[in-house]
Structure 1
Amino acid sequence: MHYVLIIHEVEDYKSWKKIFDRAANIRFDAGERIYQVLKYESDANKIVHFSAWTSIEDAKTFFESPELVKIRIEAGVKSPEFIYLEQLESGTLQSC
């Protein structure tokens, strides 16, 4: 599986979330399969979007598209940082 970690500040979380949810179909069509949205403990407008993708190329194509640049502007996203990741390992810890 391939992952993208995006860290960005938004002008207003509630406004951003409405636009984020509205884009669910285009995100799926582009290759996003699983996502998590997290916030910084001390700042509700500092957002972390972690998602699983069909491929890194699909994710880059989507995030660099002119359509998404417009959506980010509309959503009030400030200076997103994109980190593209490939899984090496995963597991579940249990008490011994």
Structure 2
Amino acid sequence: MVESIKIIQHALEEIPTFELPKQELYIRVEAPKRELGIVLMGDHNCFPWRWKIRPPDFINLQILPQLVKRMKLADIMTILGSIDIIMGEVDR
């Protein structure tokens, strides 16, 4: 256990520090439910000034007003199920 802690401490000391440039970066990552977007804004610091994750469920929910036009209220739950959204991701 003591030797493992020494190895971890040595590894942490060897991690290089870096600076985020003063610019906005958008990174796309493939997720199981389409594209997951990550926005990073740097200000010449090692920590991002702003960091935002755009989940795919938020984008999928934006089409809901067009899908429920002229539909019955009981059909809305079926339509929501077909989009396969997770409301916890949308709430962010």
Tell me the TM-score normalized by structure 1: 0.24
| Structure richer in helix, relative to its length | 2
| Structure richer in strand, relative to its length | 1
